[in-house]
A and B are shown apart, each in its own frame.
Chain A
């Protein structure tokens, strides 16, 4: 029985990694044989690839880092501040977190348009910084942190930044790792925003490249897909162990 179980889940796991593995295998196949020609075409002949890759990195990294600076204090405020309507405000964040892009993209667009940020990198970066997911996750996680550590740091210092840095962040490290992985992967996967907010090709990201890649010469499609998934794969290898402990979202009541 145990053996059957193990075999069953091994096969199931293989099915789940198969798409990724097959993409990697196909990237080395040109005209039916093993070849690095696809990578050569992409890296030496296809010059639009580099700026788009760089844009993807820039947007995702900027969003992830600045977002942390916004959500950590916000979640800290949720766990420490006392005021009426805090529960309702949290429910608002949960609802906003659940809203699909169909709902948020038009308000985002209008906000950006009125500030003249359409067709600039800010149009991609700014709205994503205020995505509510991290606030909800971190607030849930902070319910279990040790308050006496915060109290102790408060005796030493009056600065709220130092309390957050020395009393809170060490306690929520695991949650931060999980959120970084999740947010980065989410930004890395953006398709709609670059498509609708950007007109200038020089600002666009790799998913746009892959969508239009039929227009480029050579077998660049699969190599581009593989190079595109390497950065998130590396982050996943580093941080994936923290996901279960970091994302304690299950019970919101």
Chain B
């Protein structure tokens, strides 16, 4: 019994490096960020409750960046998901020749944005919409979606299909009764990940435009924050960080909640 207890303590100690690091670089400073978002400025430190939040939520640029983020989710994420699903299906069940194309679809995932943005700049030199950024988002994110989806498709055992086929099921029934229910959680998680990744689009946009002041249609949250970083405006920074974290927290928690209900 004593040995077991000791082993369990040792296993708990394995968490320490990760927990300390996460606490030092995220959790503790996040509390300070929360505090900064509730005071008027670094020196006077008067408690102003939600004044900063009201200021941020009515700020023209904050709202613009929020609108652009939501547009990206509404337009680019569905296209990304459909494309990723079609390609993953082909990679999982297609003929050998089709499977070889996997290399091309997963490759963009590791290619650094700074390398690829030059081509984008020469092709879309005078674009007046956010289209180049949407394309860059889809190009860069399809790899991880395909990796997760094909892993789910190919993990379905062949024997399940064989048994169903012996019972007289055709390929439509096979997919609606077996494939879809078995991969649904992964499809759902991939969609969730893509939504969250759409908040990370700043790098692509920044390197594409090469400035802190892009056209309005591509102004995203990180620009808002970067510009406040340069001004050292901690209150605006802290407030938008807290608001974004609440938004992402809400999306992820409802995602986990839905996935767990779906499982039952």
Contacts and interface: CB of A to CB of B under 8 A. Distances in A.
Interface of A: 2, 5-6, 9-10, 12-14, 16-17, 19-20, 22-23, 26, 69-71, 73-74, 76-78, 80-83, 91, 94-96, 98-112, 114, 126-127, 129-130, 132, 135, 154, 160, 181, 185, 188-189, 191-192, 195-196, 206-207, 210-211, 221-222, 225-226, 228-229, 232-233, 235-236, 240, 243-245, 247-253
Given A6-B97, A100-B244, A107 B21 contact: no
Contact of B22 (A78, A130, A251): A130
A211 B211 CA distance: 9
Interface residues on B, range: 35 or more
Question: Dominant SS at the A interface?
Answer: helix
Contacts of B183: 250
Interface stretch (B50-58, B164-172, B247-255): B247-255
B25 A107 contact: yes
30 contacts: A73-B18, A77-B14, A82-B8, A96-B26, A100-B196, A100-B200, A103-B241, A106-B29, A106-B33, A106-B225, A106-B241, A107-B26, A109-B29, A114-B29, A127-B26, A188-B112, A192-B202, A196-B226, A206-B114, A210-B207, A226-B115, A232-B111, A236-B110, A240-B103, A240-B110, A250-B186, A251-B189, A252-B189, A252-B256, A253-B185
B26 A108 contact: yes
B151 interface: yes
B229 A196 contact: yes
A129 B241 CA distance: 21
Interface in B136-161: 139, 142, 144, 147-152, 154
Nearest to A132: B22
A98 B32 contact: no
Given A82-B8, A108-B26, A245-B151, 4 more contacts: A73-B14, A107-B30, A132-B22, A210-B207
Interface stretch (B74-82, B87-95, B173-181): B87-95
Contacts of B24: 111
A103 B206 contact: no
A244 to B, nearest CB: 4
B21 A110 contact: no
Contacts of A192: 202-203, 222, 226
Contacts of A14: 104
Contacts of B95: 2, 5-6
A244 B151 contact: yes
A190 to B, nearest CB: 9
B60 interface: no
B26 A91 contact: no
A135 B30 CA distance: 20
Interface string B93-117: 0110110010111111111111111
